[in-house]
Structure 1
Amino acid sequence: MSTLVVDNVKTIKTLNNIAESGLKVFKKGNFTIDNESENPDAIVVRSFNMHSLEFGDQLKAIARAGAGTNNIPVDKCTDKGIVVFNTPGANANAVKEMVLTTLISSSRNLFDGVAWTKTLVDEGDQIPKLVEAGKKQFVGKEIKGKTLGVIGLGAIGALVANDALDLDMDVIGFDPFISVDTAWNLSRNVQRAMTMEQLFAESDYITVHVPLTNDTKGMFNQKAFSIMKPGVHILNFSRGELVNETDMGVALEEGIVGKYITDFPNETVLKLKNTISIPHLGASTAESEENCAIMAARQLKEFLETGNIKNSVNFPNAELPYTGQRRVAAFHKNIPNMVGQITSAISSYNLNIADMVNRSRGGYAYTMIDIEDQVNGEIIPGLVEKINQIEGIVTARII
């Protein structure tokens, strides 16, 4: 169990080059950025692999300036009460633009055509004739009137779906876990697929926007391909492991899949027929990097200063208006009577509880309690130790 402490100056460490616009967020407040610190209060990271790192006992949070958190040992962080944040939606527009760009260009055989044209160098005055004679091999098809299947209707998927409608496509979406916020932003003209198999069967193009989990790994496989329309184009800007590459190779050879567009090239993928491999450019824009950095920094700052959690991947979101009163913020196991024991410890010192919130997620929970009565702005001595002795407390602090 950790010891409850009152926070002073908070140290922020970065493990990648983080946009200066994000780091500026920490200039307002009691923060210092020290990339040499071995025991920071929080870490901001992009792609740095953290799985082999040891974490100091002061580490309270890690913010990933991006959506994926595969480079972070999330389970280890959860056991230690370290909040892991990501930035869903911050890079959504950048990825959406790349999806639509490759959707159209692959359908028109643009990449192959441009590559072929470069082979005509040094042909001089014959180039116009060669272009007219050779262009027929790159005749493509228009996306207007075709059906786009969108798997995953989060921040990116919803933007793709809405803009595809504006391009006069028919759009069918599948997401059994769609959030209320996303549903409000999604056009009512997006048709709902009741199953993923229905989407596979009806789509001329399929784009996937889901995280990599045990359930989604290899979701594009022989069984899935057997349901799809011949010549379907598949766009993968989420994770390479969503696709069984051996099965994809067979599907491409047999013409079941007409084109595979992926942002995750590797040795196997680069050898596949009719595959467009992009060097992981989906979210690589200056605007996206700044948006992610700012969002990550703001979420960290809010958590360190008030205890409020938004966009955590391992603990529940929890928000309580911060009035400046002392606040107990405790991570604990999601077992009976934890809140009762914490409040009993507080009330045993004749302290009034002004407000509180408790949220759970899986085997863990998070409780914030504002204390009304204070002595010279400080918690009465002894309360720290009493709460810390409660069985099931993972880590806690006083703000």
Structure 2
Amino acid sequence: MKIAILDAKTLGDDIDLSIFEQFGSVEIYPTTSPAELYERIEDADIIVTNKVVIDKDAMNAARNLKLICVAATGYNNVDVLYAREKGIAVTNVAGYSTESVVQTTFGMLFYLLMHLRYYDEYVKSGRYAESDIFTHLGRPFWEVNGKRWGIIGLGTIGRRVAEVAQSFGAEVVYYSTSGIEREEKYPRFTLEELLKTSDIVSIHAPLNEKTKNLITINELKLMKPHAILLNLGRGGIVNEKDLATALDEGIIGGAGLDVLEREPINPDNPLLSVKNKDRLLITPHIAWTSIEARKRLVSEIVENIRAFLDGEIRNRVDLRL
């Protein structure tokens, strides 16, 4: 087998990819541009891709292609319908990043809620050394205990966030972006009711026609003035221009984003010009990237390849959700 790993840089330089050599020859490319794609996959039996688009033309260019391994849960970068027509198997990986995303969710919350940047700078600036008391109350913060945590998208990650939030004493409610009726142990609210009554709102939903621009200035105005909004789902769910306005006008207390509509961020994104920068935390899509999560991801890709070669996945799309 000839394996082409197209965007290995997204997996990290600290992850050992030699494990793929057990299946045959491996070509590892840190990144792959559209202009480089066809030449790199023309002889490949197996493609491993995170974000590189494998469309109809790419599949036609890869004359030996038998398996596409998506190094992620989402597989919108692969034309799965055409793959089915061509008898090319497609696999993804689910569940590998749950704990990493949950940990990042709470890290973002506490950074914003407890004004950690402010207090760190207060000490390091020398102002604390000049204080006449042992403490400093410049930025009051409140406790998660006894507050309402609203979750938008109660999937695998959303449920785990709910469990941890409850361990802090929060009351958990949720809004279903799919609209599918199912029995859950948490109260299901309308989006309006959730936004109006929650002190913390975290988003863990996919981007689709139901969630695109789900949170605009109209929804932000429903939230409490002290409420914190966290988006660890997908960029495009929160209107970024409207969020910048809400932060500058004090409509909400703060926001943490690990995902953006365009990644890397557009230089003219209005969030980069927010006046109240202490109300906003943006990280570069890192929630999924703990060392353990990336090791699990690579391990699951290896298992998908092994299952394909053993005949468990044969000439069909096998998206493991």
Check whether TM > 0.5: yes
Is the Cα contact below 8 Å between 1:15 and 1:48 reproduced in 2? yes
2:199 — aligned with what? 204
1:205 Cα deviation from its structure 2 partner: 0.6
Amino acid in structure 1 at the alignment position of 2:202: T
* Structure 1 position 32 matched with structure 2 position 36: no
CA distance in 1, matches of 2:320, 2:71: 18
**Structure 2 unaligned residues grouped into runs of 5+:** 28-39
Q: Deviations over 1:366-387 (max 9, x none)?
A: xxxxxxxxxxxxxxxxxxxxxx
Query: Which of 237, 240, 251 in structure 1 is aligned with 2:232?
Result: 237
CA distance in 1, matches of 2:192, 2:309: 44
1:361 — aligned with what? none
> Which entry has the higher C-alpha Rg, 1 or 2?
1
* Structure 1 position 96 matched with structure 2 position 102: yes
1:90 Cα deviation from its structure 2 partner: 0.1
1:256 — aligned with what? 251
1:70 Cα deviation from its structure 2 partner: 4.5
Secondary structure of the residue aligned to 2:47 is strand
Q: Aligned pair in 2 of structure 1 residues 148, 26: CA closer, same or farther (>3 Å)?
A: farther
Residues 1-399 of structure 1 correspond to what in structure 2 (within 5 A)?
10-17=1-8, 24=19, 27=22, 31-35=23-27, 38-50=42-54, 54-55=58-59, 56-74=62-80, 77=83, 80-118=86-124, 120=125, 123=126, 127-130=128-131, 135-175=136-176, 177=178, 188=185, 191-264=186-259, 266=265, 267-272=269-274, 273=276, 274-308=279-313
1:137 Cα deviation from its structure 2 partner: 2.2
Secondary structure of the residue aligned to 1:261 is strand
TM-score (norm 2): 0.78
CA distance in 2, matches of 1:78, 1:195: 38
CA distance in 2, matches of 1:294, 1:172: 34
Secondary structure of the residue aligned to 1:135 is coil
Amino acid in structure 1 at the alignment position of 2:4: K
Amino acid in structure 1 at the alignment position of 2:2: T
Q: Aligned pair in 2 of structure 1 residues 134, 167: CA closer, same or farther (>3 Å)?
A: closer
CA distance in 1, matches of 2:55, 2:135: 51
Q: Aligned pair in 2 of structure 1 residues 80, 111: CA closer, same or farther (>3 Å)?
A: farther
Is the Cα contact below 8 Å between 1:232 and 1:259 reproduced in 2? yes
Of all paired residues, the percent bearing the same amino acid is 25
Q: Aligned pair in 2 of structure 1 residues 75, 196: CA closer, same or farther (>3 Å)?
A: farther
CA distance in 1, matches of 2:198, 2:160: 18
1:102 Cα deviation from its structure 2 partner: 1.5
Amino acid in structure 2 at the alignment position of 1:45: T
Amino acid in structure 1 at the alignment position of 2:310: E
More strand by share: 1
Q: Deviations over 1:8-57 (max 9, x none)?
A: xx332211335766653672xxx313326523222122344556972213
TM-score (norm 1): 0.64
CA distance in 1, matches of 2:163, 2:151: 10
Q: Deviations over 1:191-219 (max 9, x none)?
A: 22143233222211111111112221211
Is the Cα contact below 8 Å between 1:42 and 1:60 reproduced in 2? yes
1:148 Cα deviation from its structure 2 partner: 0.8
Q: Aligned pair in 2 of structure 1 residues 142, 252: CA closer, same or farther (>3 Å)?
A: same
Q: Aligned pair in 2 of structure 1 residues 247, 53: CA closer, same or farther (>3 Å)?
A: same
CA distance in 1, matches of 2:123, 2:140: 14
1:356 — aligned with what? none
CA distance in 2, matches of 1:131, 1:89: 51
